[in-house]
Amino acid sequence: MNYCNDFYNYSRFKTRIVTVGNVPLGGDYPIRIQSMTNTDTMNTQATVDQSIHLFNSGCEYVRITTPTMKEAKNLLKIKTELSNQGYNIPLIADVHFNPEVAEFLAHHIAKVRINPGNYADKKKFKKIEYADPAYNSEIERIQKRFSPLVRICKEYGTALRIGVNHGSLSDRIMSRYGDTPKGMVESAMEFIRICEDENFHNIVLSIKSSNPLVMVHTCRLLVTTMKENKMNYPLHLGVTESGTTDEGVVKSSLGIGTLLEDGIGDTIRFSLTDNPVQEIPFAKILANRYNEKSEKKSTTNNIFVDSLSFNRRKTNSIQNVGGTNVPVIIAESKTTFRELNPDYFSKNNVVLPTDKIQFIEAKTSNITTDFINQLKQNSSAVLILESDETQAVYGWRKAFCMLHETDCKTPVVLKRKYNQLTLDEFRINASVDFGALLTDGLCDGIMVDCNEHQDEIVNLSFTILQACRARISSTEYISCPTCGRTSYDLQKTIMEIKEKTNHLKGLKIAVMGCVVNGPGEMADADYGLVGNANGNINLYKKKELIQKNIKPEKASEALIKLIKENKDWSETKTLNNAH
């Protein structure tokens, strides 16, 4: 895997510059921020107003859904009205699957987004065995369907986003590659090759998943594949269907931030189930973290982790730390907690000892060969490793590289203290710092500290671990940010469902606005609700459609009934005990 210039220092992958209206991206341009309206595209004034509000908040590209020709033609009215009011905002038409609409809008709009999983393919969850001639014939069919759009984009200087979604891979890709990062990357590469056959390069790529681990690993594979093929197209980053604000900010920061630490990413979006304007301040905090970073390069780029699949570092098991135990949480005894307790407490920043564990605290600059050799002699040692570098991720990575090279299996708990940050800055920075190491399976616990936000520490720690799928402590929710295709009040519905099901530890529940990605994302959820065209909701158990046309006000009742019928319901949440 050769996805980053430097695993131990910030060094951005230099992508080609792509023109999107009057705001270019890629190259040395800053990381751009974008979002998507959730108004009805046929409501011209509401969409214009929200686009202006987004732009004034710091959003640099505004995406608007255009599922049919009716919305496509009204998007031109929206563009004209914005121009009449003095706003030359680059607009992105979110087409997904309709070639006729995409080709029409490519004549008029700065950028068109299509989805390889459903642009020329259908998704019916069918397993199809393809011999090579038949598969190649399907590629030729797609080329004939897609090439006209490419030629129009080339003629009119329109940018094209090839946006792969984990939940909407075609049956053809799924049949040959399965639900894998390789399949997701190949889905994008098929369309890139068609573009290059037409000598068209004004392309932005995105590969999204509601699972941050899948999103990180797949984007790394995409960049590796591009480099092998001497490509350098810019990437749009996002964790799709990341959920409501509390969980969604952590998931998005963790997934997007881990890749930005690798130097990957040119434009970002926080896909939150909220008013899209609320996404922008979070995206600005994260983008500024990298736009303000200076680049430097080290003499080695030894990527010692398996960057394509999640494998935890092999460590000794000492009481409940290390080995196959879930990562522990350590917090200051003065912190407050709500429903879940930390595993261990510290006092005055020193972890309280136990009979079986000797906690040894050190800073990353202390990790020398002699220090590691002493650790290896202590069978009860757990290392509390605090980064004393400004850029914590790189200091921790260097330390873990030394532990790897010396075959040291001492469990490691990462520690970092944050000062003088707003609550949003604290959440975002901690999610990136700890998440980037957890994503690579590189720690056995976390110790987060922040004087200004003591009451948030334990809850945030559990949320970070859950976002990495490293420790499940609550219900997992997958919910989309909504757009003009959503025909019911998704925000109200998800909040009602969360209130009634948030004690179902480990259960995955999806609440989706429409059928574009909804049924596909059901594959990663135990139960799901998907809006249909008439304003009602369909109920799923995994991929299986159970009930159609449920009134939104009856959705939570129907969901709970189904959960109980399948014996996945419990009445109380079990709390853990702190040491």
pLDDT tens digits for 263-275? Answer: 999 999 999 999 9
Q: 35 and 50 in contact (C-beta within 8 Å)? A: no
Which has more pLDDT, 119 or 50? 50
Nearest CA-CA partner of 488 in 554, 547, 542: 554
Cα(48)–Cα(84) distance, integer angstroms: 11
Report the CATH fold assignment for 476-565: Sulfite Reductase Hemoprotein; domain 1 (3.30.413)
Q: Give tens-digit pLDDT for 133-145.
A: 888 998 999 999 9
Confidence band, pLDDT 50/70/90 cuts, at residue 549: very high
- pLDDT over threshold 80, residue 280: yes
Which residue bears the tokens 């890139």? 192
Cα(399)–Cα(363) distance, integer angstroms: 9
Confidence band, pLDDT 50/70/90 cuts, at residue 412: very high
Nearest CA-CA partner of 501 in 562, 543, 577: 562
- Per-residue pLDDT averaged across 162-181, rounded? 89
Percent helix, strand and coil across the chain, each rounded to 5?
40, 20, 40
The pLDDT mean for the chain works out to 92
Cα(458)–Cα(115) distance, integer angstroms: 39
Confidence band, pLDDT 50/70/90 cuts, at residue 29: very high
Task: Show Cβ contacts of residue 532 under 8 Å, excluding neighbours closer than 6 positions.
Answer: 487, 514, 515, 538, 548, 549
Residue 456 tokens read as: 């948030």
Cα(557)–Cα(568) distance, integer angstroms: 15
What's phi and psi for 114, nearest 5 deg? -125, 160
Nearest CA-CA partner of 436 in 316, 299, 264: 264
| Alpha-carbon dihedral angle through residues 428, 431, 432, 438, given to the nearest 10 degrees | 180
- Per-residue pLDDT averaged across 568-577, rounded? 67
Q: 19 and 11 in contact (C-beta within 8 Å)? A: no
Task: Show Cβ contacts of residue 551 under 8 Å, excluding neighbours closer than 6 positions.
Answer: 536, 537
- pLDDT over threshold 60, residue 374: yes
Query: Which amino acid belongs to residue 258?
Result: T
- Region of poorest pLDDT, from 25-39, 176-190, 325-339: 325-339
Cα(264)–Cα(207) distance, integer angstroms: 12
Looking at residue 578, what is its pLDDT? 47
Looking at residue 577, what is its pLDDT? 44
Residue 353's Cβ-count burial label (10 Å; 0-12, 13-18, 19+) is: exposed
Looking at residue 485, what is its pLDDT? 80
- Per-residue pLDDT averaged across 252-279, rounded? 96
Confidence band, pLDDT 50/70/90 cuts, at residue 283: very high
Confidence band, pLDDT 50/70/90 cuts, at residue 242: confident
Looking at residue 482, what is its pLDDT? 78
Q: 279 and 270 in contact (C-beta within 8 Å)? A: yes
Cα(104)–Cα(109) distance, integer angstroms: 9
3-state secondary structure at position 417: strand
Confidence band, pLDDT 50/70/90 cuts, at residue 539: very high
Residue 77 tokens read as: 């009215």
Distance of CA 169 to the CA centre of its chain: 17
Residue 237 tokens read as: 């980053």
- pLDDT over threshold 90, residue 394: yes
CATH superfamily of 32-291: Dihydropteroate synthase-like (3.20.20.20)
Q: Give tens-digit pLDDT for 421-453.
A: 999 999 999 999 999 999 999 999 999 999 899
Q: Give tens-digit pLDDT for 175-210.
A: 899 889 999 999 999 999 999 999 999 999 999 999
Distance of CA 254 to the CA centre of its chain: 7
Which residue bears the tokens 């025909």? 487
- pLDDT over threshold 80, residue 62: yes
Confidence band, pLDDT 50/70/90 cuts, at residue 339: confident
Q: Give tens-digit pLDDT for 284-313.
A: 999 999 988 878 777 678 889 987 777 899
Confidence band, pLDDT 50/70/90 cuts, at residue 521: low
3-state secondary structure at position 371: helix
Dihedral sign (CA 494, 495, 500, 503): positive
Looking at residue 88, what is its pLDDT? 96
Cα(365)–Cα(371) distance, integer angstroms: 11
Nearest CA-CA partner of 67 in 99, 45, 29, 36: 99
Give the angle 321-425-417 at the CA atoms, nearest 5°.
40
Residue 564: CB atoms within 10 Å: 11
Nearest CA-CA partner of 338 in 228, 205, 230, 474: 474
Domain boundaries, given as residue ranges, for the chain: 32-291, 328-467, 476-565
> 88-117 burial by CB neighbour count: b if 16+ within 10 A, else e?
ebbbbbbbbbbeebbbbbbebbbbbbbbbb
Distances (CA, A) of 351 to 69, 293, 345, 396: 62, 33, 6, 19
Distances (CA, A) of 228 to 131, 222, 224, 266: 26, 10, 6, 20
- Per-residue pLDDT averaged across 92-97, rounded? 91
- Region of poorest pLDDT, from 101-105, 205-209, 392-396, 569-573: 569-573
Nearest CA-CA partner of 117 in 518, 546, 477: 518
Q: 221 and 444 in contact (C-beta within 8 Å)? A: no
The helix (run of H) or strand (run of E) holding residue 111 is strand 111-114
- Find the radius of gyration of the CA atoms of the chain: 24
Which residue bears the tokens 């899209």? 276
